Structure formats: C-alpha cells, structure tokens
A and B are shown apart, each in its own frame.
Chain A
Amino acid sequence: MKNKTLFLFWGLLFITSLSSAQKLHIGLGGGFGTFKMSDSRNLNQTVIESLPFGTNLTDDFPPYFLYNGEIIYSFPKIFSLGIKASTTSTGSRVCVSDYSGSYVFDNLQKVYTSGLKAMTGTFPGHKQGICFSLEGGVIWSFLSLKEDFTVFDKSTNSVTDYRAFGYYVQPGIDYLWQVMPWLMVGGNLSYFKGFPNNYYLKDDKEKTLYNTKTNKPISPQWDGVRASISVYYQVIRKKDKK
C-alpha cells in the first residue's frame, strides 16, 4: 500500500513536468559519508573478547569516499526528477602482532544503492540555487570478514562473505550552479537512513550472521551524513526564451 502511494506521487509529478520546458542532466560525483555500523562494532568487540591473546581495534569504520552517478530530468521552474546510483565502503580492523606472528581480523563492508531522486527548489528556473532533495531506493550490502593468523612460518587465513538487502531514504539539500550552458556543478548534503535486512552467508541465505555474545543478528548500518559534489552534463536543452 505504501509502495503504491509512493508510485502514484512520483507518477503525477513526472506527468506534470512534461508540460514545461525540460532539461536532462547526467552527473557524476563523489564525496564523503559517515557510517553508524553499531552492530559491526559490537561484533568486533566480541571478537576481541573471545581471542586468547590481547588485540586492539586499529580501524573502526571511518568516514570514507562515496561515489555516485545520476541522471536528472529537470522540469521547468521548481522540480527535478532522476535516478541515482551510489556506492561507498568502510571497514574495521582488529589486530595484534609481535616477533612471533600476527593476527588480523578485517571487517570490510561495501554498499550499492540505487533509487530515485527528486529535487525541488529555486534552481531550475535560475542560474544557481538551492533545492531540497529526497532520494529513496534499494541498497545491496556486502560484508567480507577476513581473518589472518600467522605464527612463525605457519599461517591460516579465511574469508567469509555475506550479503544483505534493504531500502533507504536520503533527504538532503542541493546547491546547483549552471556554470556553462551544458555544464552544471552541484553540491549535496544529506542524511542517509537505511532499512536493511540482516547479513546472510553469500552462498546460503538461510544462514544469518549473528553476534554470538549478544545473540543478535548483524545488519549493515550505513546510516550517516553524506556530503558530495557532482558535475552534470546537460544533454537536452529546450529554450524557454530566444
């Protein structure tokens, strides 16, 4: 029901936009994002506590680059609509080493998002302006747990991959500037809110990743602030005035 309502809203907005002058922008961008990852942090803590030797957390899901691409169709005056895809990654490391060997536990997570993006604001009718944007779509999360244990000349390592699927919404503010008739740059500041499912084993969806200490499933938590800059190429131009 909720999906139907959403589809109806975007449909009406698209039909309305066709009645005005239209612009098509193809954009590429990049930026930074922060990540909540509380489940994964708890998992690391469980790993640390379960090891018979002392380890430290040297990397703990820091902010990292994000990349996106989008195609925006701007209706006259106040409204733009498009599709957008983005990706980012982060990770953590639990490790220790001494003269006799080393232990490394890496938690590497990556996400792909794909969704619709709508903007409304002053820009489409001006050379530059601020718009409010709202994104929404699906997310595919990838988790790779790597463990490498080396003592003297013997080492063991393992890699276990997990997957998770989910949805997201990302409200934000965009600043757009028409630099040249065919080139536009923009900046975006938004907040990513995900609704993910739990990680499951890559080859067996029935096997969910659990934190054995808390006995709770682990899900990707990409929630956080996103800041990015994009460059747009204006493909379709319809002159409102000659």
Chain B
Amino acid sequence: MIKNTLYIFFVLSLLSVFCLISCNYEPYGENYLEIDSVGVVPSVVVDLNIGWNSDTIYICKDETVTFSYRSNSDVVSWTMFTINGKETHAYTPDEYGSFQFSYYMPDLLPGIYPMSMTVCTHSGTGSLADVTGAEGYLLTKKWVLVITDQYSIRSQITSTLFVDGKLKIKWSSFKGIGFKTGKLYKEMPYIANSPVLVATITDQGQTEYIDNTYHGESSVYYLIINDTYWSNSVTVSGPLPELSVTSDPSGIFMLKWDIPPYSKNLKGYRVSYFDDMSGEYHLISEINDPTIDSCIIPNPILGNEYQFVLTMIPLTDCYYDEYNLHNFLSSKLTACYGTPSPVFYWSDQGSDPIIYMLNAGNIWAYNTEKGIIDATVYSNASLFRFSVSENNQYLISVLRDEKFLFFSDLKTPENSKKIVAKTSMPYSASISNKGTGIIITGTMAEVFDFIHDKKLGEINLSNDFLVINKISPSGNYFVEQTFAGYEFFMFKDSTIERLSCLTENAQDILFADYLSGTPERAVVATSNCVKLIDCDSWSVVSQWNQDNTINTVFNLDYPSRQLFFRTENYFMLLNVETGETKKMFPTTPNQNVFWWDLVYCDKQIFWSGGTKMSVAF
C-alpha cells in the first residue's frame, strides 16, 4: 500500500515538475498606434537651377550642370538622376535633407536627350514603414535635355511694341542654366556716350519690360544674361509725330500732330518755330499734357514761312539738353498761314478773276473763283517772265537765254506764235489789250506789235533795266523800272515820248501801273503817298498820303481799283479812286516778303509759297 502510494506520488510529482517547468513566463502586451495611412504629401522644394517649370533644358556642352533641391523636412529617402537612360547619380540626402550634384557632360554630343529626376520621400505618416523608409512617395520629373551651343540658349528680343502709351520690349526666355540676372540696355547713338541700363531682370520667367524712358529717339535695345549671353539687338526709332497745319475761314491757324504711341512717357510738348533771320527758336506754347494734339498759332502772319518745331518733353529723364531736344525729340514742318494754292515764282493778272502763275516752266491760268487751275497756257523750260494784257486776251512770255518771245492769244490760241527778237536778247516784256507791247533788251525799250510781228518804235532807257515793265491797256503808255528809278513814256503817232515822273526823285517810286478807262490813269506809289495820274494830261488827279510808311507794293487789282501793299505792321488795301484804306492782316517789320510774293485778286491774297487767304470785310 505504501509502496503504491509512493509510486503514485512520484509519478505525479515527476509529471508536475515537467509540466510546471515547461510553463515559462511569456512576455505579453501590445502597443498599437492608430495612424492615418494616407499621411501628407511631403513638400519637397526642388531647387534646380534649371527650374521645375521648364520641360526643356538647354545646356551648353561645356557647362557643368548643378542640380539641387531642398526639402522642408528630412523626408527625402533618396534621389536619382537619369540622363539618356543611364543612371547618372543616386544620392541619399544629408541630415539637412538637401542635395546637390554637379554633372559635366562632355561625353554627350549636341543633341536631344531624355532626363529624369526621381525623388523618393518618406510618407510622413510616422508609421514604422515611414520611419524605416519602407513606404513613401515617388516624385518623378522628366525633362528634355538639349545640348546645344550658346547662341541657341540666349534670349532673343522678339518684338517691340507700343502698349498703352509706352514701349514694351519682349524677349524669349533664357533657355540655359544658372540664370542670375538679365540686364536690358539701350544705346542711343549721338545722345548717350555709353549704353544705358534700362532694367535688371532677376526672374528668368520675365520676358517683357516696359521702358518708361523711351521718347522716340533712335534706341538700340539688347539683353545680356549673366553678363555673358548677349541677345540680338533691336533698333526702335520714332515714330515722331506727324505735323500738319490748318487754316480755317475764320482765320484760325492751327498746328496739329499725331499723339505719339509713347505719349505716357512724355510730360508734354513745346511748340516753337525757327526764325531764319535771327537763327533762334521762338516759343509759341508749352503744353504740359501729352494727350493734347493741336495748338492754335496766335497772330499768324500771312506769307510768312513758319518752320514749326514740335519738341517732346520727356516725363522724367534725361539725356538731353535744350539743343539735343530740338535735334532728337522734335518734329519739324514748314508751313504758311492760309489755305493751299499753287506755288508760283512769278505772276500777273488782268481784270478777270484769273491769276497767271509761272511755276517750273509752266504758265498756269488759276481761276480764283473756282480755286483751280483752268489751263496751262504755255510751257517752256526756259520760261523766265511773262506779262498778261489787262483784258486777259494776250500773254507774252520771255525766255531766258533764248532769242525769242512767245505770244499767246488766250482767246484764240491758234494765233499764238513765236516772236523772234530782231536785235538783242529780250529781257522783259509787257503787252496791252491791243496786242502791242514793250520788249526790253538791255537799256533799250522797243514798242512792238506782237500780232503783226512788227516793231513800232524804240527808245533808250536812262539806266539799266531793273524789273517792272508795265504798259497801259491801250498801249499808249508804259513805264520801266531802271536802276535810276521809274521812267514813264507815252507812245503816240509812232513816236515815243518820255514823261516826267511827277515826283522829286524817280527813285522814290515804289510801284507804277495803269488803270483802264478814259482817260487812262496811272497809279504811282511812293513810301508815303499814292498818286492817281491822268495819263492824257499827265497830271495828278488824286494823291493819298499815308500815315504809315509803305514798305512794299504788291499789285494793283484792276476790277476793284485797289492797291495792295504792306506797312510795317499790316497788309493793306487802298482804293486809289476813293482813298479808302483797309487793314487786312498783321505783319512784322522783319517779315521776309518781297513784292512778287503776294498777289491780291478777287478779294483773296495769294502767296507764292502756296497759300491763300480770303479777305473778309
């Protein structure tokens, strides 16, 4: 019994020992972290000097390319570059999460190669996989790598255009690497001695610039990248404002101009004119508003040739002194007060509203009522002077260096013909209503019948002939201007008789002409009076003394019996029969106008320079 019990105890004990010994302690516990498995896409700032935004990278073969990036935290696991399918560089970032490597690619021939950069970042979830780099984001960027020459990667100025009153310069972006700065220069020949730095560009993506300092001067723009890569140069010049003038019937003389497309760079304009006599610019108006496009010329002077100068005043800058402003930033226009009419170098007229004008070898019949040229009466390259009869029927032309005159029958053109000078070369001529006239040859005056081509008489002048040669409508009286003064003659019964000048000194006479009628009258003007003379009795019928000194007498308008002359301050008309005097337009003592420059006809004044003005009373 005891033995059995002992045996059982032993067996149980032995089993218990083995069982209990096998029940070793087992550590336990769990620490599960709830983590968002999506995490946050890491913000990796890639700071490649070739830029993320450019899909095509232009690199010179001999350049070293530097790639780098920065991460906002230490989340980048590794980075790998592949160029042309070949792993170029693999990298594990340093403790700052930054990376940089340089690659010199002399082995690559010029051409196009694929390039990619792969950045593996941590997931940012904070999980075990994130910490150990077993999970993350794979960012891949691909480029087309173009290995080329310097010329192809530089910026090119593509256009210059005016936008909103300013000049905009556009260029293609620099395609190369390592952009630091771009400097936009402009050169202004004869204005600035050295190139002017217009702008410094710090953003490679900036491809245009508005130049606030452009005023129309000739400017050569170019761009230099990194002080190395020069762009093409583009010249911008003007446009300078086009000037024009208008004269309206009310007498307003206005200078107009086109507002330049760079007007917002201007402070305004200075309107002036250049006076040949003084050699100075005379200011008319200074306008401090670039949007204004016209200026009324105060107190315009008829027959004055204005050399208008519109000078642009820069808004801010500048490279100019007063002299250079006029030279480089101004538009010029020579214009005269009045409405356009033909330019002429010599004129004559009868009683009809027609002025015969000589211009470039042509004699035009200008209809003053219609304002048009009715006909070309005669053309010859040697035309020098001519005279028309008072009744507008005949016209005699004098040719320079030719030994003939040309007789024109204005009513019956088929009667026109050459008149060959019988003696010496004709110098001047005039013709009466009957077709007779005077031919001046040196100091000789011949009375000639142009219709029958017959000399009727001749007489020697007391001095050399000067300019004016007039014959009365009847052909019985004529007057010659010589260096000794005016000489008056009467032709009667085939005899030429010299008449007295009816003044103390023949040289005091400024003008002489004849009026038709019975008896015919001669009009003689001196500096202080105008005399109306009865030709038959050769006595003074009327004498009109003038308060203002007569400077120049231009012509006698036969229909209105008005003498057109100027004093120091006015152009005036005097009715030689009634003595009525009218002031028309102001003038100045310095106005450079000669007696042949102006003609009064049909209530209009014509200026040889090509303008006319109506005279409104």
List A residues at the B interface (Cβ < 8 Å).
26, 28, 30, 52-59, 64-65, 67, 69, 87, 89-93, 95-103, 106-108, 110, 149, 151-152, 154, 182, 233, 235
Contacts and interface: CB of A to CB of B under 8 A. Distances in A.
B24 to A, nearest CB: 5
Contact of A55 (B9, B13, B31, B34): B31
B208 interface: no
Given A97-B31, A98-B33, A100-B135, A152 B24 contact: no
A67 B9 CA distance: 17
Contact of A93 (B28, B127, B128, B129): B28
A67 B33 contact: no
B132 interface: yes
A42 to B, nearest CB: 17
Contacts of A152: 129, 134-135
Contact of A56 (B13, B16, B31): B31
Contact of A95 (B24, B31, B35, B134): B31
A117 to B, nearest CB: 17
Contacts of A97: 30-33, 128
Contacts of A26: 9, 13
Interface string B2-42: 10011001000100110011011111111111110100000
B31 A91 contact: no
B26 A91 contact: yes
A92 B2 CA distance: 46
Given A65-B23, A87-B21, A151-B134, A58 B30 contact: yes
Given A57-B29, A96-B128, A151-B132, 9 more contacts: A28-B17, A30-B20, A55-B31, A58-B29, A59-B29, A65-B23, A97-B30, A98-B127, A100-B129
30 contacts: A28-B16, A52-B131, A53-B131, A58-B29, A58-B30, A59-B28, A59-B29, A65-B23, A67-B20, A89-B25, A90-B25, A91-B26, A96-B128, A97-B30, A97-B33, A97-B128, A98-B35, A98-B127, A99-B35, A99-B37, A100-B128, A100-B134, A101-B129, A103-B128, A108-B27, A110-B25, A149-B128, A151-B132, A152-B135, A233-B5
B25 A101 contact: no
B558 to A, nearest CB: 120
Contacts of A110: 24-25
B458 interface: no
Contacts of A56: 29, 31
4 A-B pairs closest in CB distance: A58-B29, A100-B129, A93-B27, A89-B25
B128 A235 contact: no
Interface of B: 2, 5-6, 9, 13, 16-17, 20-21, 23-35, 37, 125-132, 134-135
B13 A28 contact: yes
Contacts of A101: 127-129, 134
Contact of B28 (A58, A65, A98): A58
A98 to B, nearest CB: 4
Question: B interface, by DSSP: helix, strand, loop or mixed?
Answer: loop
Contacts of B9: 26, 233
Contacts of B17: 28, 67, 69
A102 B128 contact: yes
A107 B13 CA distance: 30
A103 B134 CA distance: 14
Nearest to B37: A99
Contacts of B24: 89, 108, 110
Given A87-B21, A99-B35, A151 B27 contact: no
Contacts of A30: 20
Contacts of B2: 182
A106 B5 CA distance: 43
Given A96-B31, A98-B35, A64 B25 contact: yes
Given A58-B30, A59-B28, A151 B128 contact: yes
Nearest to A237: B2
Contacts of B20: 30, 65, 67, 87
Contacts of A149: 128
A98 B32 contact: yes
Contacts of A233: 5-6, 9
A31 to B, nearest CB: 11
A19 B556 CA distance: 187
A100 B127 contact: yes
Contacts of A64: 25
B127 A99 contact: yes
Contacts of A107: 27
Given A103-B128, A151-B128, A233-B6, A58 B25 contact: no
Given A89-B24, A91-B25, A106-B27, A96 B13 contact: no
A106 B13 CA distance: 31
A69 B25 contact: no
A87 B31 CA distance: 30
Nearest to B5: A182
Contacts of A99: 35, 37, 127
Contacts of B23: 65
A107 B126 CA distance: 26
A26 B10 CA distance: 9
Contacts of A53: 126, 128, 131-132
A146 B25 CA distance: 14
Contacts of B135: 100, 152
A174 B328 CA distance: 124
Contacts of A103: 128
A67 B21 contact: yes
A74 B515 CA distance: 185
B26, B27, B29, B126 — which one has the most chain A CB atoms within 10 A of its CB?
B27
B27 A92 contact: yes
Contacts of B127: 98-101
A221 B30 CA distance: 25
Nearest to B135: A100
Nearest to A89: B25
Contacts of A55: 31
Contacts of B29: 56-59, 93, 95
Nearest to A58: B29
B6 A58 contact: no
A55 to B, nearest CB: 7
Contacts of B30: 58, 95, 97
B5, B125, B132 — which one has the most chain A CB atoms within 10 A of its CB?
B132
B25, B28, B134 — which one has the most chain A CB atoms within 10 A of its CB?
B25
Nearest to B21: A87
Contacts of A90: 25
B26 to A, nearest CB: 7
Nearest to A101: B128
A106 B125 CA distance: 26
